[in-house]
Amino acid sequence: MRRWPNRLLRFYVAMMCLWLVAPIVIVVILAFSGDGYLRFPPTSLSLQWFARFFGNVQWQRALLSSLVIGAIACVVSTTIGFFAAYAFLRSEFRGKKLLLSLMLTPVIVPSIITAIAMYYLAGKLGLIGNFVWLGLCHAVIAMPIVLLILLSALHAVDPNLERAALGLGGSRVRVFCRVVLPLVLPGVMSAALFAFLASFDELLISLFLAGVHSQTLPVRIWNSLNLQVEPTIAAVSAFLIAVTTVILGAEAILRQRQAQRRRAPT
Amino acid sequence: MTVATLTAAARAAPRAPRDRTLLLMLPAGAMLVVMFLAPLVLFFVRTFTEFDGTAAEFIDQARDLLLSQAYLTALGTTNWISLIVTATVLLIGYPIAYYLTTATGIGVRIVVLSIVLPYFTSIIVRTFSWMVLLGEHGLVNNVLVASGLVNHPLPLMYNRLGVLIGMSYVLLPYMVLTLYAAMRAIDPSLLRAAASLGASGSYTFWRVYFPLSLPGVLSGALIVYILSIGFFITPALMGGQHDIMIAMLIDRALEVAVDWPSAALMSLTLLVVTLVLYTVYYRIADIRRLIGAR
């Protein structure tokens, strides 16, 4: 009796998954096109657009900027976010939920407003085009993601383990480094991966703050889409998709390991 | 509920001595204040104080701007697009989330992957891929023309339809992940109880399951609406001249006219609406599920 609706639901979900994945797959296929312009399906395959992407000095510089800015954002937001998440879980105070909601506002405030405000400040400070500053701005945007991931990772660590280690005479710092950190390391790593990704994919803040010299990959894609769509964009997009896929894969492995570690008898 | 939590917190507070762990929060707090809060406050305060003219002139200009045809049209467009996107994404996403809570095994993994992969792919890349698909000689039009369904390529992009397709695609994962989190919390024994009392499948769904999933529907709709009204990239690339949203108007005020006061004023209105909706979200939803995190 319940078969028909179930089959219908399954068919519907399958179609929707196709709808979700198809655009991404099509861009990846286009990136390997041997044609002179963007046309799907491509009539021949080649690596010419990747060669253009990796061989062009401007794209190389954009890639380098993206990587450096992403690394700064990743290290800063993960470190600072880790301390904050730890303090958050291990202390009791009034207005905890309110404070958390305030710390998450960077994902809620429309990015155009954040970008303009940061642009205003950077302009006053003469920091437009400074990639360290841009990395720090990205760290602010990545912080909510880091916080949420680390809060759930730290939540799984039994505070009794810490108490036991403290009771056995370990110093606070030592217990932190030898007990807490190893236990949440997979969580820290996945937070770092997502923080990097958040910066690597960020467009609007980079668009306003990058100036001419620290343009990132998304900024260059944006410029190209607004002026004249060059097929190299497909290769750059495929590259960004590949980075996302690798990071998601790494995160899945980390999560699996953590699950195994929890299941293993100690 | 808030009163209860507040009193509980107040009762718990004296027991926990103020320890130094809380100091670890300082770097994050400082960073947020210096790099996020300060720029926002500075942007608004300075643009308004740097305005050359009297206060009366400023108010006049502000009123002219907020009652101008361009602003009112953008306001209407923004709300209209956001409403349609929210409704579309809810209708599309609800069955997917429902499937995720009922299914097991490989099916779940495939569905989760097909939601998470686009979710973490750069918005600019996702928008670009739809531009390729929906263009005049894009895949969709080629298929439609080749199959004989239409004689000429349909205008699927650089109009309202393109914006709606692009934004729905970008925002669907937020809806599915929020709904999924809420639906997972529904106790399956309630459904079994309804069934064992003789309720039919559809009766159980509409009278038991659906009402229980409404908080998830509300928080999913809120988060999608909040994100929609501030959208910039997708409508800017896929919209036509009649699809100017508030965020684009703000950008234009700055890029084209270098008009800081107007940009600040429009930003302020958008920010206030966003924060009000966020407060509602804060009241009804689990804030830790904000971006689909577990």
pLDDT greater than 70 at residue B175? yes
Crossing angle of helices B55-66 and B260-284, rounded to 10°: 70
Quick check: B154 and B165 in contact, CB under 8 A?
A: no
The ipTM, to two decimals, is 0.90
Per domain, the residue ranges of chain A are: 58-263
pLDDT greater than 50 at residue B154? yes
> Mean of the pLDDT values across residues A135-152?
94
**What residues of chain A lie within 8 A of the CB of B116, using their CB?**
248
Tokens of B14: 């004296």
Domains defined along chain B, listed by start: 63-289 (1.10.3720.10)
Residues 113-132 of A with CB under 8 A from B: 113-114, 116-118, 120-121, 124
Residue of B nearest to A248 (CA): B117
Quick check: A236 and A221 in contact, CB under 8 A?
A: yes
User: How much is the pLDDT for A3?
Assistant: 63
**What residues of chain B lie within 8 A of the CB of A111, using their CB?**
230, 232
Q: What pLDDT band is residue A214 in, cutting at 50, 70 and 90?
A: confident
Residue of B nearest to A23 (CA): B129
Give the tens place of pLDDT for each residue, A157-189. Answer: 877 888 888 888 878 778 878 888 888 888 899
Look up the CATH number of domain A58-263. 1.10.3720.10
**Angle, alpha carbons A124-A126-A128 (nearest 5°):** 105
Among B23, B128, B293, beta carbon nearest to A233: B128
Q: What pLDDT band is residue B19 in, cutting at 50, 70 and 90?
A: low
User: How much is the pLDDT for A45?
Assistant: 87
Q: Is B271 on the interface with A (CB under 8 A)?
A: yes
Among B92, B137, B230, beta carbon nearest to A111: B230
> Mean of the pLDDT values across residues B185-204?
85
Partners of A45 in beta bridges = A33
Crossing angle of helices A111-125 and B246-255, rounded to 10°: 20
3-state helix, strand, coil in chain B (%, to 5): 80, 0, 20
For chain A, the first-to-last Cα distance in angstroms comes to 48
Q: Is A187 on the interface with B (CB under 8 A)?
A: no
**What residues of chain B lie within 8 A of the CB of A234, using their CB?**
132
| Rounded distance between C-alpha atoms, residue A86 and residue A13, angstroms | 39
Residues 29-88 of B with CB under 8 A from A: 29, 31-32, 35-36, 38-40, 42-43, 46-47
For chain B, the first-to-last Cα distance in angstroms comes to 23
Quick check: A86 and A146 in contact, CB under 8 A?
A: no
Which of B113, B122, B232, B267 is the best residue to mutate to test the A interface, defined by the most A CB atoms within 10 Å of its own CB?
B122
pLDDT greater than 90 at residue B61? no
Q: Is A145 on the interface with B (CB under 8 A)?
A: yes
Q: What pLDDT band is residue A263 in, cutting at 50, 70 and 90?
A: low
Cross-chain residue pair B129–A24, CB shorter than 8 Å: yes
User: How much is the pLDDT for B119?
Assistant: 92
Give the tens place of pLDDT for each residue, B222-280. Answer: 999 999 999 999 999 999 888 999 999 999 999 888 888 889 999 999 999 999 999 99
Predicted structure pTM score: 0.90
pLDDT greater than 50 at residue B12? no
Residues 233-252 of A with CB under 8 A from B: 233-234, 237, 240-241, 244-245, 247-248
